[in-house]
Structure 1
Amino acid sequence: MAQPIKAERLATSDPKPSPKTSSGLTIKTQEVTYNSLELGTDVTHCVLIAQQENKNFLLSHPNLFLYKHTRSSMASSTRHATLISMFYRFLATQPKMKGIDLGYYHALADNKDICRWQVHRQLERLEKNSPKPSSETIFEDAKVLLIFFKWLNDHGYVTNVDVQVRTWRANFRSGRMLNYIDRIAKSTISSKNIRVLDKQSRQKKFDFLITNDEIKVLLQSYADPVYAVLFQLGLGTAMRPMDLVRFPYLGNGDNKHIMPFSEMVKRGVTTQYTVYNSKGHKDREITIHMDDLRSLEENYIIPYYSIRKQLYKKRFKQECTPDVLFLTDRGIPVDSDRIASRTNDAKVKAVKIDPTFRSHINFYQSRHWWPTQYLINMFGERLLTENMEVLYLAAAQVLTQQMGHEDVATTYKFYVDMARVLMFVHRGKALDLIRAPERSVSSFIERLRSVDREKLVETEGLEGSAAVYA
Structure 2
Amino acid sequence: MIVIKTILIEYKSIDTLSNAQHYILKALLHNDKEILLSHPNLFLYNETNGAVNTSRRYANIISQFYSYLSTENKFSSIDIGKYHVLIDNHDIRKWQIYRQIKRVEKQSIKPTSKTIFEDARILLNYVKWLHNAGYITNVSVQHKDWIANFKNKRMLNYIQQEAKQVADAKNIRILDKERRQKYSKSLITNQEIKALLDAYADSVYSALFKLSLGTGMRPIELVQFPYIGNGDNKSIMPYSEMDKDKATVEFKVVGKGRKLRTVIINLKDLKELDNTYIKPFYNERRKLYREKYGVACPPSVLFLNKSGKPITPMMISRRSNDAKLKAMQFYPDFREKITFYEARHWWPTMFAIEFFKEKLLNESSEVLYAAFGEALKNQMGHEDLETTYKYYIDMARLVYSAHQGTVHELLTSPQKTVQEMLNDMEPESI
Structure-2 residue corresponding to 1:468:
none
Residue in structure 1 matched with residue 218 of structure 2 by the alignment? 240
Looking at structure 1, the residues matched to 423 and 201 of structure 2 have their Cα atoms a distance apart, in angstroms, of 19
Amino acid at match of 1:223: A
Q: Do structure 1's residue 414 and structure 2's residue 388 form an aligned pair?
A: no
Q: Quick one: structure 1 residues 200 and 432, their matched pair in 2 at CA, closer, same or farther if it must change by over 3 Å?
A: farther
Residue of structure 1 equivalent to 2:251: 273
> Using the alignment, how far apart are the partners of 1:361 and 1:352 within structure 2?
14
1:223 aligns with 2:201: yes
Q: Which amino acid aligns with 1:209?
A: L
Question: Any idea what SS the aligned residue of 1:392 has?
Answer: helix
What value does the CA root-mean-square deviation take over the aligned residues? 4.2
The change in CA–CA distance for 1:313 and 1:208 in structure 2 (over 3 A counts) is: same
Quick check: 1:139–1:169 contact (8 Å CA) kept in 2?
A: no
- Mapping of residues 449-460 of structure 1, within 5 Å: 451=427, 456=428
1:228 maps to a residue whose letter is: S
For residues 182-221 of structure 1, what are the structure 2 equivalents within 5 Å?
198=176, 200-201=178-179, 204=182, 208-221=186-199
Alignment-mate amino acid for residue 419 of structure 1: A
Residue correspondences, number? 325
Cα drift, residue 433 of structure 1: 3.1
Counterpart residue number, 2:19 = none
Corresponding position: 1:264 with 2:242: yes
SS at match of 2:315: helix
2:300 aligned residue: 323
**For residues 138 and 406 of structure 1, do their structure 2 counterparts lie closer, same or farther at Cα, with a shift above 3 Å needed?**
closer
- Flag the 1:113–1:325 CA change in 2: closer, same or farther, 3 A: closer
Extract unaligned runs of 5+ from structure 1: 1-37, 40-75, 85-108, 147-161, 187-193, 463-470
Residues 88 and 139, structure 2, Cα contact 8 Å, conserved in 1: no
Query: 1:207–1:335: structure 2 CA closer, same or farther, 3 Å change rule?
Result: farther
**Of residues 126, 134, 139 in structure 2, which corresponds to 1:165?**
139
Partners in 2 of 1:410 and 1:279 — Cα distance? 17
Q: Give, in angstroms, the shift of residue 357 of structure 1.
A: 0.4
Shift of 1:114: 5.7
Other-structure match for 2:315: 338
- Higher relative contact order, chain-length normalized (CA < 8 Å, sep 6+): 2
**Offset, 1:381:** 1.4
Query: Once the 2 structures are TM-superposed, how far is the Cα of residue 328 of structure 1 from its aligned partner?
Result: 0.5
Q: Secondary structure at the match of 2:240?
A: helix
CA distance, structure 1, for counterparts of residue 362 and residue 217 of structure 2: 30
Residues 139 and 170 in structure 1, CA contact (< 8 A), matched pair in contact too = no
- CA distance 1:343–1:120, shift in 2 (3 Å): closer
1:440 corresponds in structure 2 to 417
Flag the structure with larger Rg.
Answer: 1
Distance 2:227 2:174 in 1: 45
- The separation in 2 between residues aligned to 1:293 and 1:110, in whole angstroms, is 50
Q: CA deviation at 1:434?
A: 3.1
Q: Is the 8 A contact 1:205 1:360 kept in 2?
A: no
- Shift, 1:118, TM fit: 5.0
1:311 lines up with 2:288 in the alignment: yes
Q: Are 1:427 and 2:404 counterparts?
A: yes
What amino acid maps onto 1:247 in structure 2? F
Q: Is the 8 A contact 2:196 2:323 kept in 1?
A: yes
Instruction: Provide structure 2 residue ranges, at least 5 long, that are not aligned to the other structure.
Output: 1-29, 32-63, 73-86, 125-135, 158-171
Corresponding residue SS for 2:280:
helix
Q: Does 1:374 align with 2:338?
A: no
1:418-456 per-position Cα deviation (integer Å, ceiling 9, x unaligned) = 11111222233333333434323131134356x3xxxx4
In 2, Cα distance between equivalents of 1:166 and 1:428: 52
SS at match of 1:273: strand
CA distance in 1, matches of 2:406, 2:153: 38
Q: Which residue of 2 aligns with 1:384?
A: 361
1:241 CA drift (Å)? 0.2
For residue 345 of structure 2, what is the amino acid of its counterpart?
Answer: H
Quote the offset at 1:207 in angstroms.
Answer: 6.5
Query: Which residue of structure 1 aligns with residue 229 of structure 2?
Result: 251
What SS does structure 2 have at the residue aligned with 1:337? helix
TM-score (structure 1 length as normaliser):
0.59
Kindly report structure 1 stretches of 4+ aligned residues shifted beyond 6 Å. Answer: 119-123, 140-143, 166-172, 182-186, 194-197
Q: Distance in 2 between matches of 1:182 and 1:270?
A: 54
Report the equivalent of 2:374.
397
Conserved? CA contact 1:236–1:289, under 8 Å: yes
* Equivalence for 2:112: 134
Q: Pick which of 323-332 and 262-271 moved more.
A: 262-271
> 2:145, 2:193 → 1: CA distance?
35
CA distance in 2, matches of 1:415, 1:444: 20
**2: distance between equivalents of 1:138 and 1:230?**
32
CA gap 1:195/1:242 in 2 versus in 1, 3 angstroms: farther
Report the 3-state secondary structure (helix = DSSP H, G, I; strand = E; otherwise coil) of the residue aligned with 1:352: helix
Question: Does the C-alpha gap of structure 1 residues 142 and 408 become closer, same or farther in structure 2, counting only changes over 3 Å?
Answer: closer
- In the TM superposition, residue 384 of structure 1 has moved relative to its aligned partner by 1.2
- Over 3 Å counting, the alpha-carbon distance change for 1:278 and 1:258 in structure 2 is same
